[in-house]
Structure 1
Amino acid sequence: MSRYLIAIHHPEDYDAALEDEAMGRDIDALNEEMVAAGVRVFVGGLQPVRAAKAVRRQPDGGLSVTDGPYIETKEHIGGFWVLEAANMDEALEWGRKAAAACRAPVEVRGFN
């Protein structure tokens, strides 16, 4: 079995307060299905991107800490699952279910 990341992408201005009860039930059901299938290793939701800190190495070897994400983009990872799956095709099946439950695009990527 290999491990895969399924990352949920939210727009920069995503407001979690707008998530409805149906979406919460769908995500809960997906989590239960993943546990029952024995594929879920870890799951986590992330705080809003405005709460992020970025640590950068400076040319002199020092480190700086700044507010905000490391990369300025229009979308950010809002949450993720780490799964154990037989192959990318199986991980993509879970990714499809995640995209449907979260009503958001997801990225499926294997670990080295």
Structure 2
Amino acid sequence: MTGRAFFRAEGEAVLLFVRVTPRSSRDAIEGVTVDAAGEARLAVRLRAVPEDGKANKALVALIAKSWKIPKSAIEVVSGLTMRQKTLRIAHDSIAKILRDVAEAKGGSLS
């Protein structure tokens, strides 16, 4: 993959770069994808509609449930109204979780 990895460390937290597809038939983390700019992102499908913050809340809930971390540890820091979002995740086990995702989905750790 070219460009940056789909996540990077930021102090005690991790920034996670996500591409959301709202109004999907199911909620699912699809894996790592590369966008048109050559940047790696975690592809996520959500049933929620992108209005009144519903998709953002669904995204946080899905990540929290899938990775067994509290919702309070996850914050949408950019892209509130866009498909491409950046999440800040402050949790002790997040680095291991993301390494596992990268290895399983062919992602990059650079």
Indicate the TM-score class for this superposition, using the shorter chain for normalisation.
0.3 to 0.5
Structure possessing the higher relative contact order (Cα contacts under 8 Å, 6 or more residues apart): 1
Structure showing greater Rg: 1
